[in-house]
Structure 1
């Protein structure tokens, strides 16, 4: 068997929302390529512990930080602790999200604000804290903001999430231009509908399977597929990419619905 590459040997990665889904898959992928990983999570403690254990089994360090990223002081302390315990930060992946889905006219404002606070402000707090670490280190770095097609497709009953993801895209591009002189790259990933535990908040397994069959690809994406996109963006060979958006949506943005026949099939 061929040995995995160690493109990120000696690197330190920091991932928010790392206990499950895309964040977890990215953490494991980075560890397989040699990086030590700081794992942020808030819920799903058992899953976070399992992820850390798997990373340790790969011969890499994994530190757990149970921190609510919607509070700036908490994020800044966590970032300082990562630097203190691991020695720095070279790669940052913003993957933590929260979302309630309701018509905006009747939405519970507590959930609406929580969606913004975690999905937008939390991402910004971490981006800001990590940027300052990378600037102080003076050795460049790479960051990926896991955003969404929600940033440009106004899915109904998702106004808060749509708003947060639109803001994330603008945030990432703004950071990319400001950090460009310091060789710190900031890119965006737009995943399609991905089969993650978070989807079970809204849909049953049966509903997800049925809905997935109606997407252009006929299925939902896997977290591991999205992790491949993240690994491409942080790869040293992608060093000429910054301020870019990698879309891995399975054709969601294409006019795939126009190709259906009378019976509703492609």
Structure 2
């Protein structure tokens, strides 16, 4: 397979953290469909292996791999990138999608909960990018992508103060790292999802709540993992080679300033 046959990521290696389910799985599947060899790193080893079994096909020139990785520690991240280098010899796109966000009222947030949230969502982005940079430099450049959120940079939700703080930090990292890594040919960008239909939405309430949320979205539906994956594919593509330090909001228009007024008027 080659890019000439309509697979623009043929020959490329893409690492997706938290890639075994939800948005991460959608991202991993999208890159695999475009010809990439996809490395999925996930704390759920069984889910990672299940993804690998579903993604790999007999006689497929793509080589996908699954890695069991808890991204809360610096050492685990260094070992993960070293294993990617040993297995593939290169890395073209790093997608940090793994996240930790247990719904917790502000008064009940504990030091361990806050520390793990910041470690997985924010610190891991620092250490992954730092560890991957030498690989990118060897091949003349690379792409760092991260799943941020509208929660924190744009809106807030009760019970997610720890998550909002981590994602606001992620957006700050995107801008600062983009400036420092641009001379090395490395771009840094992110996607800010709104309400996306994933198993994690079960943490926020029942089906009736999901229906109410969907009804408040200007486009009239919840997002799907494929919606986020499409934005990631663009940011990793040749067409986005002049884009860095940016985020794309993919939320169906929900965070537009006029959205809440328009919803109220339509009720």
Q: 1:258 aligns with which of 254, 258, 261?
A: 261
Query: For structure 2, which runs of at least 5 residues remain unmatched after alignment?
Result: none
- The corresponding residue for 1:22 is 23
Question: Contact 1:194–1:222 at 8 Å: present in 2 too?
Answer: yes
Please report the RMSD computed on the Cα atoms of aligned residues, expressed in angstroms: 1.8
Q: 2:77 aligns with which of 75, 78, 99?
A: 75
**Shift of residue 217 of structure 1?**
2.3
SS in 1 for 2:99: coil
- The corresponding residue for 1:48 is 48
Separation (CA, whole Å) in 2 of partners of 1:114 and 1:174: 23
Q: Which shows bigger deviation, 211-220 or 146-155? A: 211-220
Separation (CA, whole Å) in 1 of partners of 2:140 and 2:131: 16
SS in 2 for 1:117: helix
What is the number of equivalent residue pairs in this alignment?
A: 260
Question: Contact 1:151–1:169 at 8 Å: present in 2 too?
Answer: no
- The corresponding residue for 1:8 is 9
SS in 1 for 2:222: coil
SS in 2 for 1:149: coil
**Shift of residue 131 of structure 1?**
1.9
Query: For structure 1, which runs of at least 5 residues remain unmatched after alignment?
Result: none
- The corresponding residue for 1:212 is 214
Q: Which shows bigger deviation, 49-58 or 244-253? A: 49-58
**Cα separation, partners in 2 of 1:27 and 1:260, compared to 1, 3 Å:** closer
- The corresponding residue for 1:196 is 198
Alignment of 1:63-212 (within 5 A): 63-135=65-137, 137-152=138-153, 153-212=155-214
SS in 1 for 2:56: helix
**Shift of residue 4 of structure 1?**
7.1
Separation (CA, whole Å) in 1 of partners of 2:68 and 2:16: 12
Separation (CA, whole Å) in 2 of partners of 1:204 and 1:170: 33
**Cα separation, partners in 2 of 1:202 and 1:87, compared to 1, 3 Å:** same
Question: Contact 2:174–2:246 at 8 Å: present in 1 too?
Answer: no
Residue by residue over 1:51-91, the C-alpha shift from the partner in whole angstroms, topping out at 9 and shown as x without a partner, is: 21233125411111111101001110110011111111011
**Cα separation, partners in 2 of 1:260 and 1:208, compared to 1, 3 Å:** closer
Separation (CA, whole Å) in 2 of partners of 1:87 and 1:6: 21
Question: Contact 1:69–1:125 at 8 Å: present in 2 too?
Answer: no
**Cα separation, partners in 2 of 1:261 and 1:55, compared to 1, 3 Å:** closer
SS in 2 for 1:143: strand
**Shift of residue 116 of structure 1?**
1.4
TM-score, normalised to structure 1, is: 0.91
**Cα separation, partners in 2 of 1:260 and 1:149, compared to 1, 3 Å:** closer
